[in-house]
Structure 1
Amino acid sequence: MIARVRAGEPEAYAELVRAFTGVALRAAVALGAGADAEDVVQQSFFKAYCSLGRFRDGSAFKPWLLKIVANETRNTVRTVGRQRSVAGREAAMVEAEPLIPESADPAVAAVEIERRSELLGALELLSEEHRLVVTYRYLLEMDESETAQALGWPRGTVKSRLNRALRRLGQLLPAGQEPASVPTQRLKRGGDKRGGATR
């Protein structure tokens, strides 16, 4: 697809935009762009298009794009001079992509929403590097190598920071709610495999 874009096929880039707009919006919102998320994503796609000459053949496009989205979000938040509140970020994430099916039992949905709010509140208390690694790895459903590429970190750094971040989240979340049970992309089975990373 990238080769087609470089060859001057406008429809090929339109296909990339359609394929990755959803995850780019979720990334921008999760990283704090809030109401500016759409502008951030538009600017990120423009910058990605202008930078395609630096894209390495054989690399994955998603982590490369999300690195641009993260930088653009950071610049936007810094320029505007405000950090989004947990409530504002939560509302924007729900708007960007509902995480609970409409068919869900209302009582179950209420519990899921409460847990998601608690997770986002706990994420806000993490250091930026820990918040980033959890967001990329679990909220954006990126694998370890994609997370490493998007953040520009070695895979070993991703593992160690994720381990520490999950342990810290386990301390911040209410008793009985471990990161592995959080519905906002169930922080997978990572805590179980990492020797108590959730405590």
Structure 2
Amino acid sequence: MARILGGDPAAYGTLVDRYTALAHRTAYLLGAGHEAEDVVQEAFVKAFRALSSFRGGASFRAWLLRIVANETHNLVRSRRRRAATELRAARQEPTHADGPESRAFPDTALLDAVRTLPEKNRAVVICRYFLDLTEGETAEVLGCPRGSVKSRGHRAFARLRELLAEPDKEVVGD
């Protein structure tokens, strides 16, 4: 970090190389889908611009993933507004085509069930179990206390158990 803050752009390139795959996976799983690459690029640009606010000794990984999570959240929120506007304009129900997630996860029942969770609970499940982040990293990425990570995870898994235990119940994503 000292080299980066000292103005060495190659040092930042090393961090980009190290964290691009994880950032891409985070954006994708949090809902960016096919726009994950754009989200990651924007997150790295914002991280570079905000390097002076990075606290020394903190985890760069968690700090970066927090930026990725925020960018993804903004994208998802924007999509929802856009979809609602288009739906009102067209006065028809949206269609859901198979996306890249159907190829990434052959058995989509779990992913479909996770998509039905409230956003905060879904984000905890994704960070903890799809991205294998620690409780502390998840709390930092999502900007919430560790206790919230624990309680949201508990509620999420209780709901997932209900959804996945009902074989006749159809699970529909967002």
TM interval, short-chain normalised: 0.7 to 0.9
Q: One-letter code of the match for 2:139?
A: A
Gaps of 5+ in 2: 85-94, 168-174
1:122–1:172 CA contact under 8 A, matched in 2: yes
Name the structure with the higher helix share: 2
How many Å separate the matches in 2 of 1:128 and 1:78? Answer: 11
Q: Relative contact order, CA 8 A, sep 6+: which one is greater? A: 2
In 2, the alpha carbon distance for the partners of 1:33 and 1:175 equals 28
Segments of structure 1 that go 5 or more residues without pairing to the other structure are 100-112, 177-199
Relative distance call for 1:157 and 1:89 in structure 2 (3 A) is: farther
> TM-score, normalising length from structure 2?
0.81
Q: CA deviation at 1:58?
A: 0.8
Q: Is the 8 A contact 2:33 2:101 kept in 1?
A: no
1:90 partnered with 2:105? no
Q: What is the SS of the residue equivalent to 1:31?
A: helix
Task: Find out whether 1:55 has 2:54 as its counterpart.
Answer: yes
Please show how residues 19-168 of structure 1 align to structure 2 within 5 Å: 19-80=18-79, 81-82=82-83, 87-88=98-99, 90-91=101-102, 94=104, 113-114=106-107, 117-168=108-159
The CA deviation string for residues 19-54 of structure 1, in whole angstroms up to 9 with x for no partner, is: 110111111111111121111100100000001111
- Alignment partner, residue 107 of structure 1: none
Length, aligned pairs only:
155
| C-alpha distance in 1 between matches for 2:83 and 2:130 | 23
Give how far 1:157 is off: 1.1
Task: Give the direction of change, closer, same or farther, for the CA distance of 1:4–1:85 in structure 2 (3 Å limit).
Answer: farther
Contact kept in structure 2, 1:32 and 1:89, CA below 8 Å: no
Q: Identity across aligned pairs (percent)?
A: 48
Q: What code does the residue aligned with 1:127 have? A: P
Q: Report the TM-score when normalising by structure 1.
A: 0.71
Moved over 6 A (4+): none
